[in-house]
A and B are shown apart, each in its own frame.
Chain A
């Protein structure tokens, strides 16, 4: 059954990519994708919450009564988000303040409740954990791609985390002098999302046509 486990892990990457194919949880994707570092911080938050919520909900799937399953899931997810908030506030305050309201909003991120409802409530703990890892990687790739494009073209920089002498910001020569400012602003996020979604739809239909 090893192949099945691998499938649970890799389906989140492309086939069921949460950002571009299922199109769930877009608020943080568009909201914090102004800088690559924020996108990575958001991915870390979503990864932690999704992994543990999937594991806990999968472990409790036979205990939680059907009629109150949604409130029960929300309590589990909200507790995990609170933990994430406190940890980020304590150890990476810069990321915490950059993510702002979008960090507590992980609670209502459709990806997490969606995976709990559609997957973790029906599958074993191992499969749920693999599903969570795959989905988080898919989410991370989606949000990082959008952040990379928006930051590179919008302001000509790539912001990572400062380590030692490295200040954390890379200036890209030509793009830095000729920024397309609209991409780093709100409308750019929506326009870019539209074009990327069109590209992925086109790609899917082209593969089906073959």
Chain B
């Protein structure tokens, strides 16, 4: 049950983009069409899930025994950077069209706040390894949900008459704000009402 609570928390209640604002750069940058949004969402989900488990292991098996907790930020970002590099090579090999489509944004996952964010949140919440895995997966899924919804909104916005000064980024932010307003319906009380904790 605790795992379902974590899933619900990170997908809906504390959605990474709409509530915590982690990963806004790719959210605004890659959400112009839904195909790229799905690709970006999938790669972010993969990276957050793997990174959660790997950073958890590094923290508890390497940093804690040697009392090096203060190296958390430094070691996490290096691990994430190498992971992204690996993912880049894998995608290039498996699906060249997807690699071409994501192009510049794939290396940017390294500097995606969502990935380092979930790694740090796992440690702050003192999750065990399974919980960290679930949280990483859920954070990625929440990111994917938001970016795919956003890309659909923006595809429609392209066909609408929008005032010139609002075109592009401003209207994207305002749409995201309205979406966040809808996501406020998912409240913390959802977890207690469903008797998940």
With a cutoff of 8 Å between Cβ atoms, the chain A residues found around residue B181 in the complex are 182, 187
With a cutoff of 8 Å between Cβ atoms, the chain A residues found around residue B164 in the complex are 205
- Are B177 and A190 in touch, CB under 8 angstroms? yes
Chain B contributes a number of interface residues (CB within 8 A of A) equal to: 45
Q: Which chain B residues numbered 15 to 29 have a C-beta less than 8 Å away from chain A?
A: 18-25, 28
Q: Closest B residue to A189 by CB, please name it.
A: B21
Q: List 27 A-B contacts (CB under 8 A).
A: A26-B21, A26-B25, A27-B21, A27-B22, A30-B21, A31-B20, A31-B21, A71-B78, A74-B81, A74-B110, A75-B74, A81-B73, A105-B116, A186-B20, A186-B180, A187-B18, A188-B177, A190-B180, A191-B174, A193-B173, A194-B166, A194-B176, A195-B174, A198-B163, A199-B165, A201-B169, A201-B170
Q: Which chain A residues numbered 169 to 210 have a C-beta less than 8 Å away from chain B?
A: 182, 185-195, 197-199, 201-202, 205
With a cutoff of 8 Å between Cβ atoms, the chain B residues found around residue A149 in the complex are none
With a cutoff of 8 Å between Cβ atoms, the chain B residues found around residue A59 in the complex are none
Q: Mark A66-101, 1 if CB is under 8 A from B, else 0.
A: 000011001100110110011000000000000011
Q: Mark B157-188, 1 if CB is under 8 A from A, else 0.
A: 00000011110111111101110110010000
Q: Which chain B residues numbered 140 to 168 have a C-beta less than 8 Å away from chain A?
A: 163-166, 168
- Are A186 and B173 in touch, CB under 8 angstroms? no
- Are B170 and A194 in touch, CB under 8 angstroms? yes
B109 to chain A, nearest CB (A): 10
Let me know if B112 is at the binding interface, CB within 8 A: yes
From B22, B25, B111, B177, contact of A194 by CB (8 A): B177
